[in-house]
Structure formats: C-alpha cells, structure tokens
Structure 1
Amino acid sequence: MKLFVILSLVGCALSFPRGFEPIEVDYHGQRGIPMANYLRNAEAASDFDGARIVGGTPARLGAHPHIAGLLVDLIQGGTSMCGASLLSNTKLITAAHCWRTTNFQGRSMIVVLGTLRIFSGGTRITTTNIELHSNYNQRNLNNDIGIITINRVNFNNNIRAIALPSGLLEYLTYVGNRATAVGYGRLRDGGANNNDALHQVSLIVIENFVCTDIYGPNIIIPSTLCTDTQGRIGPCQGDSGGPLDFSFQNVRYLIGVSSFTSQRGCQVGSPAGFARVTSFLQWIRARI
C-alpha cells in the first residue's frame, strides 16, 4: 500500500458557511438503544438479518480480532450498544459517549469478543471500569475517547489486540489513505437490512478543513479525524466507539475511534468523525 506522508492542514479553512450541520449527541436515545433492541429481537428470530455498517461487506470471523461489541446497561433504563477495540489482554478503547452523554449514563457494560453477533456467541465480560478523557465534552463530542478495563482475556485466532501507531506513523494525518471501519451497527438509515455478519468498509481519510466547512470549528478540532462518506458508506447507528484501522507493512494500526455522523443520518453524504488516536497516544499508553 502506498503511504502518503502529508502534514496536517487542520483548521486552514478561510471562511465558513453561515450554518453548520449538527452532529448527533444524543447517541443512546436516538441510536444506541433502538439499535440494541432491534438486534436483540432480530437475533432471536429465525430470519435474522443483522443490521450492520453502511455500504460495507460482511467480515469473516477472525478477520478483525480486535473488534469488540459493547452492551451498555444504562442508569436511566434500557440497554444501548457500541463498539470498542482491544488494546491488550485487559484494556479496550471506545468513545466516551458510549458511557456518558448529556441524557444518559452507563451503569455497567458487557464486552463481547470473538463473535459476529453482538447478542450471541463469543467471550463476554462484564465491567464497570471505564475511564473517560478528562477533557471529553458531551455537547460537541470533543476528546470523545475512553479506556475500558476488563478481567484478563486470552488471545486466540478470533480475539487479539490491535497495534497503536508508532514511529513515523505517529506523525501522519493519513489524509488520502484508505482505512477500514468495522462495526455491529446499521447497514442503512431505516428500512430493512439484509446481512447477518459483522461488517467492514474501506474509507478515505480527508482533510479536517473539509469537515470544518460542514460541521464547524466547535466540532472539528485537531484531534478529530474525518473520512469521506460519499457513495453512502461509513459508520452508522450502533457503530460508535468502533475502530478505524490502517494497514501498513502487514500490520494493522488503530488510527480512529468512531465518534459521530450527521444528525440527519449516516447516508446523507456528510463526513464521519473519529477521535484521532495519534492525538491521544500519551494518554492511552499511560493507561494500558
């Protein structure tokens, strides 16, 4: 794979439109809880049609051994769902809003590893140990990142940690490169879905100023990473917290944590936003 070495140009837009597109900040109420209810019922049905990531393809078991599903029990009632990435035998990384938003607070979560279906199979570990970034902002999803601690899990062909960027990879913006998003979330905005496996999709990383023109400088900051979703592809309802990974020299590196899409939906063509992992490496390494 050709590696583009491009310095960051974030914040370089000279002017902004009068109004910016809103992002979805009420994740659990609008997306996580409805999606968890849908998948729970769907997996219990004989004609399970498992809704997954928008515009992607089914992922075989073991193709993304770092992916984890999260079933979040909320203090306000109900169960929501998110994704996460395994960083070690005891640590995972996810989006902070999977645990706390302006309207919801997690009580506990079940971490689901090594399965294509979030409500069945695999290894399941319950935890209440989640640390959110101290600068996480619930209103604009800045610094949307958190570390989960679980009891030790053994690695196998279907459960394995993903690498963090190191060396030269720590200093890249990844603009122009392709990266892979993986998730248990919806296949499209509403309507029927017709796939029964964890899904993956290849996305192109774009300049932050493109994202700023759409969402505004209050949402897009240097620690945000954006991907192009033209062609109706990208993360969707239920994919929050999941990985965006980049392959280099046959090693897979985590470069993004799924954070937000447009409030209008995940198939409207607006960029998808991720927490930029390279901006948080010191914080992450101090906790794993």
Structure 2
Amino acid sequence: MASLLTFYISLWILMIANIISYRLYADDSTEYGVLPGKIATNCSCGWANKRTGRIIGGKDTGEHEYPAMVGVIAPTGSYIENNLICGGTLITRRHIVTAAHCVHTTSGAPVKPEQLRFVLGVHRLSEINYNDPEVMRKAERFITHPKYDKSITSYDLAIVLLEKPVVYSDIIGPACMPTGRMYPVGKKLAAIGWGFMDLKATKPDALQKVNINVVPPNYCYGYEQFNKEEGFQYCTHQGDHSGQCVGDSGGPILWRDPDTNRYTLVAAPSFSKAGCIFEPAVVSDITYFIPWIQQVISETYPQEQTCSKVQESGSWTFPDQDTGAVLFPDD
C-alpha cells in the first residue's frame, strides 16, 4: 500500500512539473525551425513555417507549420470511409514512416495499399479534396518491421512506399532524421496530429500540436505491452489534459535540434490507455530503427536519401541493437 501511495504521489508531482514546464518552455518561438542553425544538414529538412500561430488539449499549429506531416486516410469505399485513422512522417520523396498497426486492421490483418491514401501539405481536414490524386496520394506497398507483433504492439513501425515521388515545396518536405541513438529524457518534444481533442471523440479541423516530455520507463511499466528490455520504446507524458490519442498513432514526434534549428523525427506514437489524458503514452524510438529504415530505403529506392545533421567524424555511432547500449548526444 505504501509503495502504491508513493507511486501516485510521484505521478502527481510529475504532472504538476509537466504543466509548469509546458507553460515555461513551450516550443512556440517564431524563430524555431526557421533560420538555419550553427550546424548544417546534408539536405533540406525539418524546417517550420511560422506564418501565424489530436492531441488532447493541444492547440492549432501555424498554417502548414510542419511540412513533414502526413495524414493517413481511409477513403470512400475502403474499410473505413473518409476517416483519418493515423498520422505519418515524410522522410524522403518516396518514403513515409508510420506505426505498423496503422497499416493493419484491428484484427491484425494487413491492409491493402489501395485501401489507404496519404495526405500531404494540408493544414485543415476540411481543405482535403478527396478527388485530387496530388492530395490523396497512393501507396505502392507497405513494409512492416519484421518483428512487429500485433498481440503486444511490439516493433510497431512501418514504412509506406509512395506510388509516385513527392515534389518538395515550402509546405511539403521531409523531417530530419537522427544520426545516432538518443534517449531524450529532459528534452521537450512536439507531438503533431489530428487525433481526438477530448474524451467525447471530437476531432479537430486544424492540425494540432502539444509539447510532451520523456519520462523514466517505470511510468509505463503498468502496460503489459511495454518492453523493458530491448530499447525500441520509451515513455512520454504530459499532465495538463494534453496527450496523444486516437488518430495520432504513427504521426511525428519531433525534437528541435538546437545545433541545426531544424525538427528531427525521434519517435512515433504507438499506444496509451483508454482516456488518453493524464496517462503516459508509449512511443516507438525512431533512433532504434534507423538501421532498418535505411536498409528499406536502400532496397527499394536507393536514389532517395534521408536528411540529417552534418556530423564530425566519429561524433555519433549506432550501438549494436542487441546490447541495449544508448548514447547521449549533447544538446
């Protein structure tokens, strides 16, 4: 009983700290993601459009603020009609990262590529022209991580191969990719999506964002599916009625690298408890999956490349994924 009381007291303290940190350190500067930083990237990525100012308790993003955002939609005639089911992140002109469960039915059966469309360059869902093939992009195929297990939501990552390459513009472009392992405890991350805004299943029209924190893994030990050993997940939390909810799965969780002043894809929402608010969420650690992502790109469209921070020789490495080793790059 005492240990349970201690846990709830620590959770309450964490919630209060999150509220304070969110208000003090919200990633809302008009300079964030706009001007280049002191270190370059090897190609254009991760910029933000700060022209103006689902995720529970989130707020509207600026108009086309995050060009890498992708909406995963089941169009009319598909197994869910005109319904945004997930998010995704553009990483090359032909590749989108999303959650594996987003390309499977609730029973675990693979979804056929023709059953989904992928929307880029849209801020409001009401703006989507469902008859425009340039807006409703088709997939060639889905590549699910070979260790994905629907029953325990493990290795919950997939790559979408687009039927035609995307033409980059100011409102459509890739997120930067990490250059090595990182465990961003203490870093402010931004979760982006059109997921439900409240427990009444109200969906927003405009794209939403909320700042979230990475918390110690023990806060997610209550989830039977949380993997404590292999290091491909971590635990996030935001205690001010904000959080990731239905419709946010697979979407971008971004970290603004202060060296580049560009947004880097570091995680993708996987699952949380029903209710969403006040509950920790489990996310897939993109930095763990970088070797697999790069392998998929090289085996499908090797002419495409992801964009990352230019590194000095030897400054980042990928540890053997079987060792569980983690590197902590400097902020």
User: What's the TM-score once normalised by structure 1's chain length?
Assistant: 0.74
Q: Go from structure 1 to structure 2 and tell me whether the alpha carbon gap of 1:106 and 1:191 turns closer, same or farther (over 3 Å shift).
A: closer
Q: Go from structure 1 to structure 2 and tell me whether the alpha carbon gap of 1:143 and 1:180 turns closer, same or farther (over 3 Å shift).
A: same
Match of 1:179 among 173, 185, 189: 189
Shift of 1:237: 1.4
In structure 1, the partner of 2:282 is 273
Report which stretch shifted further, 96-105 or 71-80.
Answer: 71-80
Match of 2:122 among 115, 129, 139: 115
**Cα distance in 2, alignment partners of residues 266 and 260 from structure 1:** 9
- Residue correspondence of structure 1 range 1-288 to structure 2 within 5 A: 52-72=54-74, 77-79=79-81, 80=83, 81-103=85-107, 104-107=109-112, 108=114, 109-118=116-125, 120-121=128-129, 123-150=135-162, 151-166=164-179, 170-190=180-200, 195-212=204-221, 214-216=222-224, 218-221=225-228, 222-249=231-258, 250-262=261-273, 264-267=274-277, 269-288=278-297
**Cα distance in 2, alignment partners of residues 85 and 75 from structure 1:** 25
Contact (CA 8 Å) 1:61, 1:158: kept in 2 or not? no
Identity %: 27
SS for the counterpart of 1:202 is: strand
In structure 2, the partner of 1:8 is none
**Cα distance in 1, alignment partners of residues 217 and 275 from structure 2:** 20
**Cα distance in 2, alignment partners of residues 273 and 253 from structure 1:** 19
Q: Go from structure 1 to structure 2 and tell me whether the alpha carbon gap of 1:178 and 1:149 turns closer, same or farther (over 3 Å shift).
A: same
**Cα distance in 2, alignment partners of residues 245 and 114 from structure 1:** 17
The runs of 5 or more residues in structure 2 that have no matched partner are: 1-6, 8-53, 298-331
Q: Larger relative CO (CA 8 A, sep 6+): 1 or 2?
A: 1
Q: Go from structure 1 to structure 2 and tell me whether the alpha carbon gap of 1:102 and 1:237 turns closer, same or farther (over 3 Å shift).
A: closer
Contact (CA 8 Å) 2:100, 2:156: kept in 1 or not? yes
**Cα distance in 1, alignment partners of residues 202 and 174 from structure 2:** 33
Q: How many residues align?
A: 230
Contact (CA 8 Å) 2:196, 2:246: kept in 1 or not? yes
**Cα distance in 2, alignment partners of residues 89 and 271 from structure 1:** 33
SS for the counterpart of 1:84 is: strand
The runs of 5 or more residues in structure 1 that have no matched partner are: 1-16, 18-51
Shift of 1:76: 8.3
Contact (CA 8 Å) 2:125, 2:206: kept in 1 or not? no
**Cα distance in 2, alignment partners of residues 245 and 229 from structure 1:** 15
Amino acid at match of 1:204: N
Q: Could you list the runs of 4 or more consecutive aligned residues of structure 1 that deviate by over 4 angstroms after TM superposition? A: 73-76
Report which stretch shifted further, 60-69 or 110-119.
Answer: 110-119
Shift of 1:56: 1.0
The structure with the largest alpha-carbon Rg is 2
**Cα distance in 1, alignment partners of residues 242 and 156 from structure 2:** 22
Shift of 1:232: 1.7
